[in-house]
Amino acid sequence: MDCIFCKIISKQIPAKILNETSHSICFLDAFPLANGHALVIPKNHHKKIQDMTSTENSDLFSLVHTMMSKVDSLTGSTLLAIHNGENAGQEVPHVHVHLIPRSKSDSAGPVHSMFDSSLGSSDSEIEKYYNLLKI
Ligand code: 5GP
Ligand code: ZN
């Protein structure tokens, strides 16, 4: 499979590996948005979070939890981000969690700054999506 992250796992291409568990691996992003920008990925190729088994999912987020302490110690604030699907901005189609140190002076903002404006949903629309999504 022609997947850059699978090639990192199989050591076909090098990466600055920070930590590893049975199902997951953490390494530095090669094009960091901040010093210490790290990625946590499952060792098996899955495109989306919901495609992983619950064991892989638990293992992945356990490694995120471990690495968050390290990464967050750099600036005291961290952006945790997952682009789950191409239209959400996912450029590498292999699940990855970004851990990006944030600081007051960086160029990023709160999540609402990613969009031009909030939707201004009506109460009935909010109710509709509440009913669609609740389990
Ligand atoms: P996405 O845009 O899919 O959310 O994130 C993909 C991330 O992978 C980007 O932050 C990009 O810098 C990083 N990346 C792309 N190619 C490589 C690579 O070959 N090695 C490493 N370590 N990171 C990469
Ligand atoms: Zn892959």
Which pLDDT tens digit goes with each residue over 65-94? Answer: 999 999 999 999 999 999 999 999 999 999
Distances (CA, A) of 62 to 25, 33, 46, 122: 11, 23, 17, 38
Residue 4 Cβ < 6 Å to ligand 1: yes
The verdict on whether 65 is a catalytic residue reads no
Q: Residues 23-36: pLDDT tens digits?
A: 999 999 999 999 99
**Strand 24-28, strand 97-101: pairing:** unpaired
Residue 12 Cβ < 6 Å to ligand 1: no
Q: State which H helix or E strand residue 86 sits in.
A: none
Domains of the chain: 4-104 (3.30.428.10)
Cα of 29 from ligand 1 centre, angstroms: 6
Residue with the bigger pLDDT between 120 and 100: it is 100
Distances (CA, A) of 120 to 19, 28, 46: 43, 38, 34
Task: Look at residue 11 in the predicted model and tell me its pLDDT.
Answer: 97
Sorted by sequence, the CB contacts under 8 Å of residue 96 that are 6+ apart come out as 5, 39, 40, 41, 82
Residue 106: is its pLDDT beyond 90?
yes
Of 65, 96, 98, 112, which one is the catalytic site residue? 96
pTM given for the model? 0.96
